[in-house]
Amino acid sequence: MPAALQLDRFTTERLVAERIVPEHEDELLKLHQDPEVARSLGGKRTRPEVQVMIERYLRHWEAHGYGIWCLRDRGTAAFVGRAGLARVEIEGVTETEVIFALMPGYWGQGLASELVATVVERARPDLGLDDAVGYTPTGNIAAQRVLGKNGFAVERDIFHCGLPQILFRRAFV
């Protein structure tokens, strides 16, 4: 079975991850309009910007067989956030990035670590990836902890997406 089919939907102990589709627009808009979330993602996004983002996510899935998932609480089906793997260019180099953004009501519960652990666990056997990166604004200590707990090590400071960031890397081999 192709990796894209295996990765369309999966569960962790507390989350259900499902491949992003256009019907997730309202939930993603809510995430990207939240002022606390927006602080770490470079600002709020409008509905047209979220629509463009979803279109980019859909193209990514088609091109690479993996991408971004919508996250739901496994018990209640409530929207939790978005996370996944995405090909990005950082300082002229194409990398595979582990990304995650959760609604503030779900912060501090270990859900981001749980999700990143599952994604990292599947990255090598399911996708053949040798490594992945993550980056966070310099002040986002919580996200830095999530990456550190999952074996990512600080590589260097970068300026990306209009913000000073810390680049982390994890090898899978």
Pairwise CA distance, residues 121 & 172, whole Å = 9
Looking at domain 3-128, which CATH architecture does it have?
A: 3-Layer(aba) Sandwich (3.40)
Residues 61 and 7 sit within 8 Å (Cβ to Cβ): no
Q: Tally Cβ neighbours within 10 Å of residue 3.
A: 15
Q: Whole-number mean pLDDT of the chain?
A: 92
Q: Would you place residue 43 in the very low, low, confident or very high pLDDT band (cuts 50, 70, 90)?
A: confident
DSSP secondary structure letter of residue 65: S
Question: Which two structure tokens, joined as six digits, stand for 81?
Answer: 């956030």
Question: Which two structure tokens, joined as six digits, stand for 74?
Answer: 């496994």
More confident residue, 50 or 124: 50
Mean pLDDT confidence for 124-147: 92
How, if at all, do strands 153-160 and 163-171 pair?
antiparallel
Question: Which two structure tokens, joined as six digits, stand for 138?
Answer: 């310099």
β-bridge partners, 84: 68, 99
Using DSSP's 3-state secondary structure scheme, residue 149 falls into helix
**pLDDT at residue 5, as a whole number:** 35
Pairwise CA distance, residues 87 & 141, whole Å = 24
Question: Which two structure tokens, joined as six digits, stand for 159?
Answer: 């300026």
Residue showing tokens 């990796």: 3
Q: Tally Cβ neighbours within 10 Å of residue 152.
A: 24
Q: How many residues does the chain have?
A: 173
Question: Rounded to whole angstroms, what are the CA distances from 91 to 33, 83, 86, 139?
Answer: 28, 22, 16, 21
Tens digits of residue pLDDT in 87-121: 999 999 999 999 999 999 999 999 999 999 998 88
Has residue 6 got a pLDDT over 70?
no
